[in-house]
Structure 1
Amino acid sequence: MSPRQQDMATQDDWDEDDLSDGQMKSLLHRAEQRIRKTESTKKQITEVSRIPKLDPGAIAQPYIVSTDGVARADPRRLLSGRDRRLSNTVRRVEDPVKVKERIKKEKRTTAGPDFFDMPRTKLTAELKADLQLLKMRSILDPHRHYKKENSKASVPEYSQVGTIIEGPTEYLSSRLSNKERKRTFVEEVLADETSTGRFKRKYNDIQASKTSGRKAFYKNLKEKRFGGVRKR
């Protein structure tokens, strides 16, 4: 018999007779215990219901699927949609040698900010003549001596031609007149040669040394000795 049934049986017995104080306290104590037990059970149920449910989020689907009892890899999961579209398109294959050649041709047009963005050398006929003249500058003035350079030096990859402008503090004697100004170095050298004639004299001296001992040399020597008198 359960405690509740026992209490009911006891209560029926007590209804027949008058309840004493001890019996009344016993009934109240049992009722209080039942109420506390019921409240604790409800509280536990409420606490369990308040616990938040964990959301694991989207669970990755397996790459292996079973087809007719055979485990196979799912082809839809192996490649993404973008890669699949790329695999179905035509791909252009380039020759690596030609790619390197194209890269060499498409070099930088300037030397970069570290070298003041100096442009690539555009070799023109005038610039080529000026560069050759700079290599031979030691023979232009016999009173100046320059450091010997490699005669096989190539054209600089990056270069720029500028114009020197005289300052307002320079003397007039150190300036060139507009008539003396030329566009290139070669034109200046030719104009200076016209006024001095140094190269012409040097050329005649070299030719005289080369023709020394030959028939023309002795013929000119006789003309100088006899004053250009010819025999009749």
Structure 2
Amino acid sequence: MSVEVVVVNPASKMEKDEEELSEEQIQSLLLEAEKRLKKASGSSSKQDGDDGAVSLATGQEVGGSASRPKVPSLNHKQAVQPYVRQSNSIATIDKSRLVPESAKKLAETIHTVEQPLVKLNTMLTSGQNKEKPTSGPKWFNLPKTVVTPELKRDLQILRMRSVLDPHRHYKKENGKAKIPEYSQVGTIIEGPTEFFSARITKKERKNNFAEEIMAAEKESGRFKRKYAEIQEAKASGKKAYYKKLKAKRARPMK
């Protein structure tokens, strides 16, 4: 007695079942699935709302609200036109929209940025770009200042004149030190009446302010004395100060 065993492929069976289902049956199955989902959700669907829900069967929105703002349709007439167009299976380029040859040459070569003529003309007419060589007749036609290291040093000494000569009082300068735009350096020539009383000898005469200050310091020694006083005041109360005191006290009695 022989027994025949028939093996059925489940995948092929499912494919046959799917082929046998008609579109109407699929539609009815989808509607039933939607009804089951609605019943299962219950109150949560009411609280959250059904805005934007799409029916699987019909493909339309379910329970859409009128309060939702409508999205405006895009204006397709203002679309960017392409440069290349096709006519009779031939591609053509719109020459009016191409870069001109003059602009291409400028892009390939090195060039300087030129100032607009309108702005240049306004500057010429208003005189903004013109620099005056002198300060004018009201200020004795002083020339423009030629900045040199010697001039900077002399101007700095002039600003510190109250420190150099403490017996005289000068007006305080609160602003920042600025080099004058117009200035001139000169030498005072003594008159013949000052030959014996006010003149100094050539040996005592100095070339600039710095040399005069150094010569006066050698005679008076004021800056050296003041510096020693400041250093002594700073060292007061420190270890070196007490060591010096101990050394004085430890001297042998005569």
With structure 2 as the length reference, what TM-score do the two structures score?
Answer: 0.47
CA offset digits 1:173-193 (Å, max 9, x no partner): 422211111111111101111
Give the structure 2 partner of residue 220 of structure 1: 244
SS where residue 192 of structure 2 aligns?
coil
Which sections of structure 1, spanning at least 5 residues, go unmatched? 1-90
The Cα of 1:222 is off from its aligned counterpart by: 3.0
SS where residue 194 of structure 2 aligns?
coil
Matched, 1:172 2:213: no
Give the structure 2 partner of residue 161 of structure 1: 185
**Alignment equivalent of 2:150, drawn from 102, 105, 126:** 126
Question: CA separation of 1:93/1:162 partners in 2, compared to 1, >3 Å: closer, same or farther?
Answer: same
SS where residue 224 of structure 2 aligns?
helix
Determine which structure has more spread, i.e. the larger CA radius of gyration. Answer: 1
Q: Indicate conservation of the 8 Å contact 1:135/1:151, yes or no.
A: no
SS where residue 169 of structure 1 aligns?
helix
The Cα of 1:94 is off from its aligned counterpart by: 4.7
Partner Cα distance (2:134, 2:190) in 1: 28
Partner Cα distance (1:105, 1:193) in 2: 48
Which sections of structure 2, spanning at least 5 residues, go unmatched? 1-113
1:69-88 paired onto structure 2 within 5 Å: none
Higher relative contact order (CA 8 A, sep 6+): 1
Identity %: 56
CA offset digits 1:101-132 (Å, max 9, x no partner): xx767511211222221001111111111111
Give, as a single letter, the amino acid of the residue that structure 2 aligns with 1:143. H
Give, as a single letter, the amino acid of the residue that structure 2 aligns with 1:217. Y
With structure 1 as the length reference, what TM-score do the two structures score?
Answer: 0.51
Q: Indicate conservation of the 8 Å contact 1:121/1:159, yes or no.
A: yes
Question: What is the RMSD computed on CA atoms of the aligned residues?
Answer: 2.7
Question: CA separation of 1:211/1:111 partners in 2, compared to 1, >3 Å: closer, same or farther?
Answer: same
The Cα of 1:225 is off from its aligned counterpart by: 4.2
Question: CA separation of 1:214/1:92 partners in 2, compared to 1, >3 Å: closer, same or farther?
Answer: closer
- The structure in which a higher percent of residues are helix is 1
Matched, 1:111 2:111: no
CA offset digits 1:43-82 (Å, max 9, x no partner): xxxxxxxxxxxxxxxxxxxxxxxxxxxxxxxxxxxxxxxx
Give the structure 1 partner of residue 16 of structure 2: none
Matched, 1:136 2:160: yes
